[in-house]
Amino acid sequence: MKKIVAPILFSVLCVFLLVPAAVYPGEAIRSGETLDLKRCIAIAFERHPSILGAAGGVKASESRVGQARAGYYPQVSASADYSRNSVGSSTYRNSGTVYDSYSTGVSVNQTFFDFSKTSTQVKIQQFGADSSRADFEQALSQIAYDVKKAYYGLLQARHLRDANSEAVGSYQQHLAQAKKFFEVGLKPKFDVTKAEVDLSSARLNLLKAENALRLARLSLGNAMGMPGAPPFEVQDTLAFQSYPASLDEALKKGYERRPDLRSAQSKREAAESSIDLAKKGYYPILTGSAGYGWSGEDFPLDRGWNVGATLSVPLFSGLSTKYQTDEARANLEILKASEDLVRQTVLLEIQQALLNLQEARDRIDVAELEVRQAAENLALARGRYGAGVGSPIEVTDALLADINAKTAHTTALYDYRLAQASLEKATGEK
């Protein structure tokens, strides 16, 4: 039942993937639109070239199943022939006899019994189609991961831009305060010059952050299959939300749902059937044929028919069947090793994602505390400087510590989301 339903579901999905213009008229993204993560992934599934290419691969593999099934059915052909013939005379001076020849007919050939060669070929192609469908799902999983990575990268860039913009405001405020103190003679010129240098450095960092934001938006558009997308915004989902996960549960999901593992399993099953197919080269084939036709030198043509059966028994083929069987066995060993390698990869990726998830979770807690402490330290430094007992270096250090703490917190949030996306990909989720 599963093998019947899977192609139907895939065909329905292909309708939405291959004709997005009919279902979603106009641009996929409107200028100024705010997108959420699900919308971005849906756009990528509709438009990304790798998805469309993988869908075409599945269609090709399903066509090969139909080609293999053609062996079950009779092969019918029709022919017509006309020739003008000359038969030479035994006498040198006499011309030869010239006559016309006509023939036409219909023939039918049917394989009656081939020791299940055709059914085995069909089975092999079905496994190939299953592998192609799994490859298609793997393409979906990879694109979903790429979109998530680019989406969270855009949020990270936006947060860092905002933090640098806030830092510029803080340095401007400090510069204005230093100028007032200098004008009334409470602070030396050094304080003003130091504040101006710090402000210029902050503005430079802001320019870099703004460019990084533009690059991140381009990366997300490219990940969605829309490199020329109009300007858009994304919903901010970078805030921490706990993602519960355990190794045993993740491994169970991964071994059951990973598309690349299912693709490797289908290829291995196809190789097992290929050994059976190669062995059948030792067995005979029974075929039948029938024909009905007209032939003669003049109209009306003579009618005739024929019916026959052929038993073809391979006696010696130069050991080609043996070597084909050996090759099929060797290919099976290769694919078994490939399947084991994929299993190891699943285990490694899940373990890495879980460790990264926990490490990012721990860094978020530390970074949140650091942000609070840096804000308190900045407030104290400003208060001391405003009271005339603090130095400009103290304020600068506090401002730098504040921006560094915010950057570390944003990076930890991004790393946590990225580790979550990696774990979802490692377990076969989209």
Tens of pLDDT along 85-142? 887 655 545 556 888 888 999 999 999 888 889 999 999 999 999 999 999 999 999 9
Q: In 73-116, which residue ranges form alpha helices assigned H by DSSP?
A: none
Residue 49, Cβ neighbours under 10 Å: how many?
8
Q: Is the residue at 296 inside a domain? A: no
CATH assignment of the domain containing 267 = 1.20.1600.10
Q: Report yes or no on 15 lying in a domain.
A: no
Cβ atoms within 10 Å of 298's Cβ, excluding its own = 10
- Longest CA–CA separation in the chain, Å: 139
Residues in the chain, pLDDT under 70:
1-27, 88-96
Backbone φ/ψ region at 307: left (φ over 0), alpha (ψ -120 to 50), beta: beta
pLDDT at 296: 83
Q: What is the layout of strands, in order, in the sheet containing 75-87?
A: 75-87, 97-113, 285-296, 302-312
User: 288 in helix, strand or coil?
Assistant: strand
Nearest Cα neighbor of 35 from 234, 214, 220, 231 is: 234
Residue 385 confidence (pLDDT): 87
Q: Which two tokens stand for residue 182?
A: 């200098």
Residue 358: CB atoms within 10 A of its CB come to 13
Q: What is the pLDDT of residue 160?
A: 96
pLDDT value, residue 416? 97
Question: Is 90 a member of any domain?
Answer: no
Whole-number CA gyration radius for the chain: 37
- Residue owning tokens 């990973």: 258
pLDDT for residue 299: 83
Give long-range contacts, CB 8 A cutoff, 24+ apart: 235-240. Answer: 235/34, 235/35, 235/36, 235/37, 236/155, 236/158, 237/36, 237/37, 237/155, 237/417, 238/152, 238/155, 238/156, 238/159, 238/410, 238/413, 238/414, 238/417, 239/413, 240/364, 240/413, 240/416
What residues contact residue 93 under an 8 Å CB cut-off, 6+ apart?
A: none
The range of the structural domain enclosing residue 369 comes to: 29-79+114-283+319-426
CA atoms lying within 13 Å on the CB side of residue 260: 20
Q: Establish if 304 belongs to a structural domain.
A: no
What pLDDT was estimated at residue 217?
95
Structural domain count of the chain:
1
- What is the distance between the alpha carbons of residues 154 and 226, in angstroms, rounded to a whole number? 15
Percent of the chain with pLDDT over 90: 69
Neighbours of 104 (CB within 10 A): 14
